[in-house]
Amino acid sequence: GNSVTQMEGPVTLSEEAFLTINCTYTATGYPSLFWYVQYPGEGLQLLLKATKADDKGSNKGFEATYRKETTSFHLEKGSVQVSDSAVYFCALSDRSGGYQKVTFGIGTKLQVIP
Amino acid sequence: GAGVSQSPSNKVTEKGKDVELRCDPISGHTALYWYRQSLGQGLEFLIYFQGNSAPDKSGLPSDRFSAERTGGSVSTLTIQRTQQEDSAVYLCASSSRPEAYGYTFGSGTRLTVV
């Protein structure tokens, strides 16, 4: 079956540091890949997505590139802010049993300190 | 509506009572998921509805849990004879084309069983 593996965290960075959160996946088909963000006390929000190999998703300064050869979708940001403190979930959507099914990673908590 | 609406936002119930949680997805979204998120944990898949197809109930933790989706729109998650381990945030998400657009999540229902 499909699976998503991401670093467990927590990740603690100083403001303006470079961020990488690793995500690798296993899928039987050709999945779409997503990053979701959950700010404290809120629900999940879609952060960015990529629907095919070599696509780059980007939003709010975050980027992730769909790498089929390494089955990865690592999240990066060049300069994090305190307001980026949240839990980040990597996810894939793949066709299974006739419909799209979503698999989430366990989430990585990011804490940015001033 | 403009987003996925869940009600109630908070529910405190006594052990052994039944509870109903409601999800009102975005109009026209055929795919609907229920997830459970325990404190500090990732997302636990519960059940998936896609259009008029039979739901995928493989994630329901016990026969005390059930869900229905009436008319392809509103969904209700019912927990019978609640236990303390049922305490969690229950999240609902919907989509029109998951592989292209990802999912839109509601803000969740925080269930506390005392």
Looking at per-residue pLDDT, the higher value among B55 and A97 belongs to B55
Output the pLDDT for position A37. Answer: 96
Output the pLDDT for position B105. Answer: 94
DSSP per residue over A42-54, as a string? S-EEEEEEE-STT
Q: Give the pLDDT band (50/70/90) at residue A96.
A: confident
Two tokens at A20? 């990488």
- Classified as helix, coil or strand, B72 is helix
Q: Give the pLDDT band (50/70/90) at residue A2.
A: confident
Output the pLDDT for position A97. Answer: 66
Q: Residues 6 or more apart from A23 whose CB is under 8 A from it?
A: A4, A5, A6, A33, A35, A64, A72, A73, A74, A75, A90, A105
Question: In this model, does residue B41 exceed pLDDT 90?
Answer: no
- Rounded CA separation A97/B32 (Å): 16
Looking at per-residue pLDDT, the higher value among A74 and B51 belongs to A74
Instruction: Check if A98 contacts B (Cβ < 8 Å).
Output: yes
Q: How is residue B81 annotated by DSSP?
A: S
Question: In this model, does residue A50 exceed pLDDT 80?
Answer: yes
Best interface-test mutation with B: which of A4, A44, A89 has the largest number of B CBs within 10 A?
Answer: A44
Closest residue in chain A to residue B49, using alpha carbons only: A99
**In angstroms, what is the C-alpha Rg of chain A?**
14
Contact A100 B31 (CB under 8 A): yes
Q: What is the mean pLDDT of chain B?
A: 92
Report chain A residues whose CB lies below 8 A from the CB of B53: 98-99
Q: Residues 6 or more apart from A70 whose CB is under 8 A from it?
A: A24
pLDDT digits (tens, 9 = 90+) for B72-92: 799 999 999 999 999 999 999
Output the pLDDT for position B1. Answer: 53
- Rounded CA separation A69/A31 (Å): 13
Q: What is the mean pLDDT of chain A?
A: 93
Output the pLDDT for position B100. Answer: 86
Output the pLDDT for position A98. Answer: 67
